[in-house]
Amino acid sequence: MLVVDDLHASIGGTEILHGLSLEIGDGEIHAVMGPNGSGKSTLAHVLAGRDPYQVTAGRVLYDGADLLAMTPEERAAAGVFLGFQHPVEIPGVPTMYFLRTALNALRRARHHEELGPVEFLALVDAKRRLVDMDRSLLDRAVNDGFSGGERKRNEILQMLVLEPRLAVLDETDSGLDIDALRVVAAGVRSLRAPHRSAVVITHHRRLLDHLVPDQVHVLAGGRIVRSGGADLAAELEAHGYAGVHEPGAEPHPVSTATAR
Amino acid sequence: MTATSRSVPARTPPSGTAGAVAVDAPDRPWEPRWLNVARRRAAAWVEAHGFPTVKHEDWRYTKIDAALAVPLAAPPQGAVGDVDTLALADLPTPPLGGVRVVVVNGRVAAGLSSTGGALAPGMRVEPLADALHKSQGSLEQAWGWHADGYAHALRALNDAATLDGVLIELAAGALVEDPIEIVYASVPAPGAGWSHPRVVVVAGAGARATLVETYLSGPSGSSVTNAVTQVHLGQGAELEHCVLQGAGMDSFCFSSLEARLARGSRLSSRLLATGGRVGRHEVDVVLADEGAELSLDGLFLTGAGQHHDNPVLVDHAAPSCTSRQLYKGVVSGDGHGVFNGHIVVRPGADGTDAAQVNKNLLLSDRAEVDTRPRLEINADEVACSHGAAVGQLDPDALFYLRSRGVSEGEARAVLVSGFAREVLDRFGRGSIRGRAEELAMAAGLLALGEDGHGDDAVTAGLARARPGGR
Ligand SMILES: Nc1ncnc2c1ncn2[C@@H]1O[C@H](COP(=O)(O)OP(=O)(O)OP(=O)(O)O)[C@@H](O)[C@H]1O
Ligand SMILES: [Mg+2]
């Protein structure tokens, strides 16, 4: 589904990603872990098409198409979803209206009929129960005054409503209480399907215990320095990243799963 | 961006520099004598002071030269005969349910006006032309407000030249449920000049009413409206007031709200300005006695080729009064918006609570905003605050929406709507709000729910934005 090949990306003239490669197959969940500042959010933003990031080399193929040539809204229409590490506040725009605008924009792009108010309400009501989000939050402006956890639940709600083909979740589990963590995991699992995939960026093994990813990657210094199975998360938790990102000084050999 | 003036606010102007103007104030034998005197005095004032120029503090950003190319005289009697033929379909719909007075080119068009059923007890609504024939104490007082001088010539000109408008009198304790609506329409007419409609509202103690003023004009032809609305609120009276300025893109729309608030009275006035080549809505409120409350809200959507000026003077002349102002501007193309807000706290007006906020959104790099909040405090123990901001659309929010599949044009419209909502919400939830949203939508900058009022927008259909705006 997604092939990231030797991606170099910079911001403000500073190169952050130094030749990152990653391959994700249909129906797979991949976890990306790595130290602060290593470039995880940069990768997520580049995949979603955020403006100030510049791709200086490499390519990204999404279902064989050149993802980097698409506008953010085209990527969304093609099924790419970014769960933001820091969801943005939009004063004056009710969450419900935001959701409906988004869903109907996607439906239009896909030549589906727009959802009427009644159908939409029913849809959102069902999804919001899954993420255990209070109805009153939906009447408030997007993320305006939301707590950290409420914002993350809102990201998951959006994902459930928009049903992406490729979800990139950037630390959606950070700042969540234990129940919310289960909610996020359940949300991701509920979308699991042979044609859907997810990239889950996280610092915590807990979420991965719930999700059981197909692969775990370590992103350090702007590259994937190590990849492995679900058990790699436990290992990282025990030993930390020390040494992992020094190529040649790796205490553990790269596991059999391909990092491409 | 912020300027503070230490001088006592001028209700008297600096010496004008515009060329000599002759203003006709012929004797009108059918009008009372005091009015003839007042008209001559006002005309003489205009001749002596001339029209405001950019040297005039409150007209710094607004040039009126082009408006002066239009004859100052009201249209001849003959042209007024046609006004009843203005298609009803051109008037805002649906009617708000109460009294509706339609003023075309400065004259009440009886055939287009209606009382909306029985008048509420204690309410009197009369075309000003009729009222001026009689000697009305309240009108004599209204003309006396500026006996010792005017702030500028346009205001004086209305005193000198108004022909018609509306007199609204509310007896003590009168409660008027349905909004009283005044629609000002400018239609092309041979020889049409400036129109000077005048509205006088006098509310007795404890009276309550809602007044909605809408400015419209035909799509073609340049017209100049120079309207004055005077409001006198008695003790404990309350007035909800809305101004919807949707004048044609080639017209000049000068309007002015003057209010005097007695003890414990309350005025809420909201402005939505989208129309006109030049729109200038002036507000001048005196909180004249203890415990009076004022709330002013304004939203100006200023597009290419447009200029919107919002001079506001809030005069705290008595102790323990409250005033709130929230003005928001959205300026696109090469539009120019101005907020010129002045709060004065007079000596002795202790316990004043005054706040003023002006926020502006610039949608293009040619768009311009000048904001000058001013605060002048001459009393003790006052709580006063003011602030102004000029910004652009938040790129993070824009990306957030686009990452969800919303096109850039629609995302911009959604954000502009979010910005504007705070003021639109002050228009309530009923038909007035609907009217305001319609006008705002027509300006092409917003994406609101199809029939969405406030939070109901969430259940309303998605309105597709007009990408690119103006
Ligand atoms: N505008 C910028 N100019 C220069 N450097 C930047 C800019 N924005 C981000 N960076 C840097 O890019 C690096 C990668 O940031 P990124 O947000 O991708 O890290 P991350 O792996 O997501 O970290 P975390 O785990 O803390 O979320 C950081 O060192 C950051 O300081
Ligand atoms: Mg990050």
> Which pLDDT does position B58 carry in this prediction?
86
> Which pLDDT does position B3 carry in this prediction?
35
For B461, which residue in chain A has the nearest alpha carbon? A117
Q: Which amino acid is at B147?
A: A
Region A140-149 average pLDDT: 94
**A69-128 per-position pLDDT tens digit:** 999 999 999 999 999 999 999 999 999 999 999 999 999 999 999 998 899 999 999 999
User: Is A68 part of a structural domain of the chain?
Assistant: yes
Q: Do B403 and A106 touch (CB under 8 A)?
A: no
In angstroms, the CA B429 to CA B457 distance is 11
Burial class (CB in 10 A: 0-12, 13-18, 19+), A126: exposed
In angstroms, the CA B118 to CA B95 distance is 15
For every one of its 470 residues, what pLDDT tens digit does chain B have, with 9 covering 90 and above? 333 333 334 344 444 444 456 676 777 888 899 999 999 999 999 999 999 998 888 898 998 988 988 888 755 454 444 555 554 446 777 788 899 999 988 999 888 888 777 788 999 999 999 999 887 789 999 999 999 999 999 999 999 999 999 999 999 999 999 999 999 988 877 767 899 999 999 999 999 999 999 998 766 667 899 999 999 999 999 999 999 999 988 899 999 999 999 999 999 999 999 999 999 999 999 999 999 999 999 999 999 999 999 999 999 999 999 999 999 999 999 999 999 999 999 999 999 999 999 999 999 999 999 999 999 999 989 999 999 999 999 999 999 999 999 999 999 999 999 999 999 999 988 899 999 998 998 887 776 543 333 333 322 222 222 223 33
In angstroms, the CA B443 to CA A249 distance is 64
List the residue whose alpha carbon is closest to atom 30 of ligand 1.
Answer: A37
B212 phi and psi, to 5 degrees?
Answer: -120, 125
The closest alpha carbon to A80, from A211, A199, A212, belongs to A199
A85 phi and psi, to 5 degrees?
Answer: -65, -40
List the residue whose alpha carbon is closest to atom 25 of ligand 1.
Answer: A36
Q: Which structure tokens are listed for B165?
A: 């408008």
User: Is A84 part of a structural domain of the chain?
Assistant: yes
For A97, which residue in chain B has the nearest alpha carbon? B458
In angstroms, the CA A173 to CA A185 distance is 9
Distance A39 CA to ligand 1 centre (A): 6
B434 phi and psi, to 5 degrees?
Answer: -60, -45
- Interface residue A114 vs chain B (CB under 8 A): yes
Q: Which amino acid is at A215?
A: Q
Q: Which CATH number is A77's domain given?
A: 3.40.50.300
User: Is A232 part of a structural domain of the chain?
Assistant: yes
> Which pLDDT does position B447 carry in this prediction?
64
A164 phi and psi, to 5 degrees?
Answer: -70, 160
In angstroms, the CA B413 to CA B391 distance is 15
* ipTM (interface predicted TM): 0.93
**A186-217 per-position pLDDT tens digit:** 889 889 899 999 999 999 888 998 888 999 99
Nearest-Cα distance to chain B for A89, in Å, is 7
For B393, which residue in chain A has the nearest alpha carbon? A90
Q: Is B13 in a helix, a strand, or coil?
A: coil
Q: Do A92 and B401 touch (CB under 8 A)?
A: no
Q: Is A127 touching ligand 1 by the criterion CB < 6 Å?
A: no
User: Is A30 part of a structural domain of the chain?
Assistant: yes
> Which pLDDT does position B5 carry in this prediction?
33
The angle subtended at Cα A207 by Cα A153 and Cα A19, nearest 5°, is 100
Chain B residues 404-433 with CB within 8 Å of chain A: 404-408, 410, 414-415, 417-422
End-to-end CA distance of chain A: 14
Q: Is A95 touching ligand 1 by the criterion CB < 6 Å?
A: no
The parent domain of residue A39 ranges over 2-244
Q: Do B399 and A100 touch (CB under 8 A)?
A: no
User: Is A83 part of a structural domain of the chain?
Assistant: yes
* Percent of chain A at pLDDT exceeding 70: 93
User: Is A22 part of a structural domain of the chain?
Assistant: yes
Region A11-27 average pLDDT: 96
> Which pLDDT does position A253 carry in this prediction?
41
Nearest listed ligand to the Cα of residue A170:
2
Tell me which residue in A76, A92, A117 faces B405 most closely, judged by beta carbons: A76
Q: Is A13 touching ligand 1 by the criterion CB < 6 Å?
A: no
Tell me which residues have their CB within 5 A of the ion that is ligand 2: A 40-41, 85
Q: Is A131 touching ligand 1 by the criterion CB < 6 Å?
A: no
Q: How confident is the model at residue A177 (pLDDT cuts 50, 70, 90)?
A: confident
The angle subtended at Cα B290 by Cα B286 and Cα B296, nearest 5°, is 45
Q: Which residues of B touch A105 (CB under 8 A)?
A: 404-407, 410
In angstroms, the CA A93 to CA A114 distance is 20
Distance A46 CA to ligand 1 centre (A): 12
The closest alpha carbon to B241, from B212, B266, B265, B261, belongs to B212
Distance A81 CA to ligand 1 centre (A): 20
In angstroms, the CA A44 to CA A81 distance is 10
Q: Do A101 and B395 touch (CB under 8 A)?
A: no
In angstroms, the CA A101 to CA A99 distance is 5
In angstroms, the CA B55 to CA B194 distance is 23
Distances (CA, A) of A86 to A54, A210, A217, B264, B320: 20, 23, 22, 47, 44
B432 phi and psi, to 5 degrees?
Answer: -70, -40
> Which pLDDT does position B231 carry in this prediction?
98
- Interface residue A121 vs chain B (CB under 8 A): yes
Count of domains forming chain A = 1
User: Is A47 part of a structural domain of the chain?
Assistant: yes
| E strands in B218-277 | 224-233, 238-246, 252-261, 266-273
User: Is A183 part of a structural domain of the chain?
Assistant: yes
Average pLDDT of chain A?
90
Burial class (CB in 10 A: 0-12, 13-18, 19+), A214: middle
Q: Which residues of B touch A96 (CB under 8 A)?
A: 458-459
> Which pLDDT does position A249 carry in this prediction?
40
Nearest-Cα distance to chain A for B299, in Å, is 14
Distance A85 CA to ligand 1 centre (A): 12
List the residue whose alpha carbon is closest to atom 17 of ligand 1.
Answer: A41
